[in-house]
Each structure stands twice: as structure tokens, then as C-alpha cells.
Amino acid sequence: MYSLVIFDWDGTLMNSAERIVSCLTKAAIKTELPVLTPMAYQQIIGLGLREAIRQLYPDIAEKQVEAMRDNYSHYFVLAEETPNPLFPGALHVLEALRTNSIGTAVATGKSRKGLDRVWANTGLGVWFDTSRCADETESKPSPLMLEEILADMQVTPEQALMVGDTSFDLEMAQRIGMDRVGVSYGAHSLEVLADYQPKAIIHHLSDLLPLVLAKPS
């Protein structure tokens, strides 16, 4: 049994991909940058915002990066007046982990301000022991945010499990020898997730519980 489960946020626990894509599209128009396809925007979900913009628009000037970041944040804060829903089964999973004395954490590409805001709007922060955001450490797929969470919780990589919907989530866990589980309903395809040798790829969050709560043979 694991002693800690670390979740990605957007696309893993919260169904926010459509809103992220919409806000990136609006921000690109406002910043007078080319509007990319929804798929292109979806593929960078999970990165820190600055890193995501740089990947989407590698040739733009720093001033445009700042403008795109500010415009995206503006549209996203407006949209958050109506919170995104959690994926089905998310609260059940968090409750079951708490009941079984398993720690929980979040490793996210959101900013600290953004994560704190969504937790304030939804009350969901009470379910997590610790968290790391992209603007207070290195962005995924660097494993630094995982290493910092492990240090906070005094847990080794072998005692923890990373759950995410993108290659960025699975790669950072793979780089420190941490078990990982992909979810099939998020930003990246099954084929992309499989490249990072996850313990499993699940189609519903509740499918996580047998993997986490299984007793060692």
C-alpha cells in the first residue's frame, strides 16, 4: 500500500480542459497572436503558464509572453466565477484515501494564486496535505515539485504514487523512480501516456482505489 498519492489538478481531478482551451484562444486574439487549434492548446495543459506560452509560440518576444500570460489570467479568473466540476468519483476517492490514512497532495501547472483561488471557491483544499505549483518551483516535467512534496511528507519515491493525465505528469514521476498512473479522459492520448510505462491507465478515478489499497502479497 502506498502512503501518499499525488494528483495533478486540471484534467485529472477537475474537468477544466475546455475552459483552459477557451481562455487560451481568447488570450491569443487579445494579444494579436495566431489562434492555434484546440488540440494544440490542449497538449500544453499541465505546464506552467510561461512554459506553455513559450511552447505554443516559441518565436514571440518577451513582451508578448507577458501580455499573453496577463490576458489568459484575466479570462480565466472571469470564467472561474462558475467553478469547473470535479470528474466523477473524485470526492469518493479522496474520502477513501483519507479513511485509509493515505496522504494526498497536488502537483500542478497552475499558479499558487490560481490553486488557492479554486480551493477557496470550492472548499476542496481540505482534502490535501500539501501541494506544489508551477510558479513556486520548476515546471513539469522537472521532478522538483515531486521531490519537494516528498520532503514535506517525509516519504520516499517508492512509497508514493503520481496520478495524472499528461506525459508531463508521468515523466516527472518516472525520472525519480516513482510509480505512476495515467487517466484516459484528460489532455493526452493513451498512446502518449503508455510511453511512460505507467502502472496502469484508468478510465474512471474510482479505478484508482484497488491499485492504491491493495495489500502487498
d(CA 132, CA 154): 15
pLDDT < 50 regions, the chain: none
Residue-wise pLDDT for 19-32, tens only, equals: 999 999 999 999 99
Residue-wise pLDDT for 141-191, tens only, equals: 999 999 999 999 999 999 999 999 999 999 999 999 999 999 999 889 999
Q: Which helix (H) or strand (E) holds 7?
A: strand 4-7
Domains by residue range for the chain, with CATH? 4-15+85-213 (3.40.50.1000), 17-79 (1.10.150)
pLDDT for the residue numbered 81: 81
d(CA 208, CA 91): 12
